[in-house]
Amino acid sequence: MRVIVHGAGGKVGAALLAQIAEAPDLTLGAAIRGRAELPAARLSGDVVVDFSAPEGSLALLDRLAGSDLPLVIGTTGLGPDHLARITAAAAERPILMAANFTLGFEPFRMAGAALAAALPEARLIVGEIYSIAKKPAASGTTQQLVAALTTPTRRPETDIGRVGDTPGVNSITLDLGVSQITLTMTVRSRAAYAAGALSAARWLIGQPPGLYSANDMFRENP
């Protein structure tokens, strides 16, 4: 499988290149560092993995117009306009987009949702700790967890932290006053995001056009 990496100059991009080089079933189709390289890039591959920036993802969609190459998007910070463009592009190609590609994230999210449903009286707190270089606003992962845990009568609080070069620590806490349950997912390195994205790329090839999530892949391969 030939993988085209867009955003190859970033930290996750570097991890993607390293894992592609080591995987016996993968070869590198192209390494595109950013938007400036897109016009001249030779898009020879079976799937594209994008870890760039919101405007970079839109530029990539423009560059891919007319092809049906599957696309995995791990770019964060996407707004409504970006999401609308991505949704429209999914009519001509399979696109799998996720806020967090860490292996194990979907079971972590599902376990938190099951506990929250079983304990409707618990106070919910969704926490995150990321690198100080990350924006202070809640990450896409936290926003996704809050949405999954919100009900008409309860919305989780958030606890946002920024420390050093932390790749990512996400938590779901259920506080019952006299007791507390905390689920924590710790990312040891950005290689975790790359490994999950490449698993998604393998799964996406052969899927019909449409917009997919990591949960679609997990439901098929529990």
Q: pLDDT for 8-54, tens place per residue?
A: 999 999 999 999 999 999 999 999 998 889 999 989 899 999 999 99
Strands 180-186 and 71-73: unpaired
Whether the Cβ atoms of residue 52 and residue 6 lie closer than 8 Å to each other: yes
What's the whole-model pTM score?
0.86
pLDDT digits (tens, 9 = 90+) for 61-90: 999 998 999 999 999 888 899 999 999 999
**pLDDT beyond 70 at 184:** yes
Produce one character per residue of 50-64: b if its CB has 16 or more CB atoms within 10 Å, e if not.
bbbbbebbbbbbebb
| Helix spans in the chain (H) | 11-22, 54-64, 80-89, 105-118, 140-149, 191-204, 214-220
Mean pLDDT of the chain: 94
3-state secondary structure of 154: strand
Q: How far apart are CA 127 and CA 132, in angstroms?
A: 15
Give the integer Cα–Cα distance in Å for 185 and 125.
14
Taken in order of first residue, the domains within the chain and their CATH numbers are 2-101+191-220 (3.40.50.720), 105-186 (3.30.360.10)
